[in-house]
């Protein structure tokens, strides 16, 4: 543990030097262009968060500076490696008021601890995590990747029941890359559009290891996949498809989890359709059924577990989502997503606006509003507004 922490410190020290140097861009360009085997990319984001009470009469502010550094080293056509580091500095009232804020930043799925908390004060937390660190070998149509990586088996766009290796909160829009998993993945391509993947992923608790295989193929303009394996030591089976009906995209995923001594068997099923209309109006409608989700109004929210997991993409049983997005100009776009869960009558409204101010600089204004039925009354719970600036390099 101490050793990994030392390595992180060393890497970060090197990064700090790079960032502080005003010749950083030149160094990066010379590495990226003159010797394409090593590439460095990343971004720096500043996120201001305002969390309002249900009537907007009180608010708590939070701040986050978020830096990501992605390294790729590809010395030959057979070997490649990746290292991605996530540095975050939080401060403001929000972390003061959240008990044990820094421990919530850890990804519980990781086998090896490759994170460090440099500063853990009540008003400021500086946290670093290596969320990708892998080595890859490719030989013709065979590929093996070992290390911390993202295994993304999702095929649809809103909810992904087939994404059984990763847990993430879909409201966490600021983490586009999603957490990684410590795993070995081997894949073999058979034809242009068919392949087989085998993955063994390890967790700190061996009971939470996931082993699974996926066969992917394309037939009659449809992608199909079949998944089988063990999730938390119990059998899991799944399938997904992606195709179209006339000009409308049509996708879906189903995943079954066998029962264990604490849980009944469980099915997650999603289906969705999308269409791009004239003048860049895009509409996506989806439905998710979680057989073990809540389907009655929840009377005491504080006692309700809302931990997201591959088994619980939503805490609620019946879920519908509708997204409408539009590019007003090539630089300015917006979208509105509405999620409604009948039964619990949970409603989440997620509008956002994005503006590209300079080539590599974007500004986002995002809002999240939550409403639910409680004691037979439909009421607001909380509203969050985010303002984010992002510089990509």
Min dist. Cβ of residue 106 to another protein (A): 22
Instruction: Decide: is 110 part of the binding site for another protein (CB under 8 A).
Output: no
Instruction: Decide: is 81 part of the binding site for another protein (CB under 8 A).
Output: no
**12, 41, 211, 217: residue in contact with another protein (rule CB under 8 A):** 41
> If you ran DSSP here, which 8-state letter would residue 264 be given?
-
**195, 335, 338, 374: residue in contact with another protein (rule CB under 8 A):** 195
- CA dihedral (315, 269, 174, 148) positive or negative: positive
Distance, in Å, from the CA atom of 268 to the CA atom of 280, rounded to the nearest integer, reads 32
Distance, in Å, from the CA atom of 302 to the CA atom of 308, rounded to the nearest integer, reads 16
- Could you give phi then psi for residue 264, rounded to 5 degrees? -75, 170
Judged by DSSP in three states, 230 sits in: strand
Instruction: Decide: is 280 part of the binding site for another protein (CB under 8 A).
Output: yes
Instruction: Decide: is 100 part of the binding site for another protein (CB under 8 A).
Output: no
Token reading at 273: 């359709």
Cβ proximity of 339 and 288 under 8 Å: no
Instruction: Decide: is 242 part of the binding site for another protein (CB under 8 A).
Output: yes
Instruction: Decide: is 218 part of the binding site for another protein (CB under 8 A).
Output: yes
Instruction: Decide: is 335 part of the binding site for another protein (CB under 8 A).
Output: no
Closest residue by Cα to residue 321 from 170, 95, 192, 188: 170
| Closer Cβ to another protein, 107 or 195, answer by number | 195
In angstroms, the Cα distances linking 336 to 152, 247, 326, 349 are 25, 22, 9, 7
First to last CA, the chain: 32
| Closer Cβ to another protein, 116 or 366, answer by number | 366
Binding region for another protein (CB under 8 A) out of 57-65, 85-93, 310-318, 385-393: 385-393
| Closer Cβ to another protein, 114 or 155, answer by number | 155
Min dist. Cβ of residue 341 to another protein (A): 25
- Three-class secondary structure assignment of 146-199: EEEECCCCCCCCCCCCCCCCCCCCCCCCCCCCCCCEEEEEEEEEEECCEEEEEE
Instruction: Decide: is 27 part of the binding site for another protein (CB under 8 A).
Output: no
Enumerate residues 132-161 that contact another protein by CB under 8 A. 138, 141, 143, 150, 152, 154-155, 157
Number of chain positions touching another protein (CB under 8 A): 49
Instruction: Decide: is 380 part of the binding site for another protein (CB under 8 A).
Output: no
Q: Which residues bind another protein (CB under 8 A)?
A: 36, 39, 41, 43, 74, 138, 141, 143, 150, 152, 154-155, 157, 176-178, 187, 189, 192-193, 195, 218, 221, 223, 242-244, 246-249, 251, 274-278, 280, 327, 329-331, 356, 359-360, 362, 390, 392-393
């Amino acid at each position: 543990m101490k050793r990994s922490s030392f390595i992180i410190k060393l890497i970060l020290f090197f990064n700090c030097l790079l960032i502080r140097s005003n010749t950083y861009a030149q160094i990066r360009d010379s590495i990226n262009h003159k010797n394409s085997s090593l590439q460095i990319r990343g971004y720096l984001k500043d996120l201001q968060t305002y969390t309002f009470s249900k009537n907007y009469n009180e608010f708590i502010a939070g701040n986050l500076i978020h830096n990501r550094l992605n390294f790729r080293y590809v010395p030959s056509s057979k070997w490649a490696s990746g290292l991605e580091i996530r540095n975050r500095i939080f401060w403001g009232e929000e972390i003061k008021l959240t008990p044990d804020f820094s421990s919530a930043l850890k990804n519980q799925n990781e086998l090896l601890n490759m994170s460090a908390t440099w500063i853990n004060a009540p008003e400021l937390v500086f946290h670093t995590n290596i969320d990708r660190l892998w080595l890859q070998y490719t030989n013709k149509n065979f590929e093996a990747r070992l290390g911390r990586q993202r295994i993304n088996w999702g095929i649809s766009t809103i909810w992904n029941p087939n994404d059984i290796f990763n847990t993430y909160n879909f409201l966490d829009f600021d983490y586009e890359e999603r957490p990684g998993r410590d795993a070995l993945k081997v894949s073999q391509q058979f034809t242009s559009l068919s392949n087989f993947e085998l993955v063994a992923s390890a967790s700190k608790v061996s009971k939470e290891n996931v082993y699974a295989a996926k066969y992917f193929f394309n037939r009659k303009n449809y992608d199909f996949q079949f998944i089988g394996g063990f999730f938390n030591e119990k059998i899991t089976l799944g399938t997904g498809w992606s195709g179209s009906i006339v000009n409308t995209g049509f996708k879906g995923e189903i995943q079954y989890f066998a029962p264990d001594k604490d849980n009944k068997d469980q099915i997650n099923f999603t289906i969705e359709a999308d269409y791009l209309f004239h003048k860049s109006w895009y509409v996506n409608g989806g439905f998710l059924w979680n057989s073990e989700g809540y389907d009655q109004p929840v009377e005491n929210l504080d006692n309700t577990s809302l931990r997201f997991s591959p088994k619980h993409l939503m805490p609620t049983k019946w879920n519908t989502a509708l997204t409408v997005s539009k590019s007003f100009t090539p630089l300015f776009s917006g979208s509105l997503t509405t999620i409604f869960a009948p039964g619990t009558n949970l409603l989440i409204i997620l509008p956002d606006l994005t503006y590209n101010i300079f080539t590599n600089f974007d500004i986002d204004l995002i809002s999240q509003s939550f409403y639910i039925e409680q004691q037979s009354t439909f009421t607001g719970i909380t509203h969050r507004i985010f303002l984010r600036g992002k510089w990509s390099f």
